[in-house]
Copies of this chain bind each other. A is one copy, B any other.
Amino acid sequence: MRAATIRDGEVLVADHPDPEPGAGEVLVRVRAAGLNGADQLQKRGAYPAPAGAPADIPGLELAGEVVRCGPAAERFTAGDRVMAIVGGGGQGELCTVHERQLMPVPEGVAWTHAGGIPEVFTTAHDALFTQAALAMGERVLISGAAGGVGTAAVQLASAAGARVTASVRNADLREQVLALGAHAALDPQATPDAGPYDVLLELVGASNLDANLPALATGGRVVVIGVGGGGFKSELNLLVLMGKRARIGASTLRARPLEEKAATARAMERHVLPLFERGTLQVPVAATYALDDVAQAYERFAAGAKLGKVILEL
């Protein structure tokens, strides 16, 4: 099979042996695979693939058709439309995935969009609901709201009845973020907003967190899931945190073991995929590229200033 391949800090297309599905695994013919920040890190050698994932084929998410099932894999049959988060290897024509990590593609969702659902919607749902327990009527500030996870988080929080404030650096993108359901869109470099917010979803980093912490409400929860844009060293005032009876959590999806990733897939099936079927949620797509143009796809992703996902079509 052909696959996006990382060689000496560059991404190109190369031939690889077809993967074989092991026990409990499913072989998928990939149709679309979203790009994510971690792919860029992996390309630079800063984020090696976890054990069990192909070392040189990037790609953390995919959508495609089931080719065949390995021993003891029983959830799907050949031809089923499926999608998943994977530890790596999503950006190849074929990929093996444990059946517990797979989700069905929601009715009516095209391949291009399906390939951009798993990583950002699972990350956003896990952070906002599983970790921060965001609930109806609460106020949430989403920092970095125009990115992939940000646009997913804005839609999910809004759909759950929360009041969403979106922090978006690029002024040209604020209107589009408002159209996804945000109540207000802020410039993070303007005067800090006083909030208060019950939940802060931090996708930018420490400098942002330090600026936003004073706006956290009593009993507030912070979840940090991205530090690429704002550094990672935060000066935390424990007295402020005690006074607010607040908590700060931080997480990544990629390093989690199978059972935890499978649990996030079940949460997606129960709480998120029905909203795709109803048409409540969408995947904003900034650009699509054929596999042969994978280098351009990575350049487009790195250039930023986009709303939504960059998708590779295979």
Contacts and interface: CB of A to CB of B under 8 A. Distances in A.
Interface string A234-260: 111111011111111111100110000
Interface residues of A, number: 29
Contacts of A238: 205-206, 209, 224, 227, 232-234, 250
Given A232-B237, A236-B233, A246 B250 contact: yes
A82 interface: no
Contacts of A233: 235-238
A76 to B, nearest CB: 29
A252 B245 contact: yes
B242 A252 contact: yes
A242 B224 contact: yes
Interface of A: 131, 205-206, 209, 224-225, 227, 232-239, 241-252, 255-256
Instruction: Please name the 6 residue pairs, one residue from A and one from B, whose CB atoms are nearest each other, closest first.
Output: A247-B249, A241-B250, A242-B250, A236-B236, A232-B239, A232-B238
6 contacts: A234-B237, A241-B250, A242-B250, A246-B249, A247-B247, A247-B249
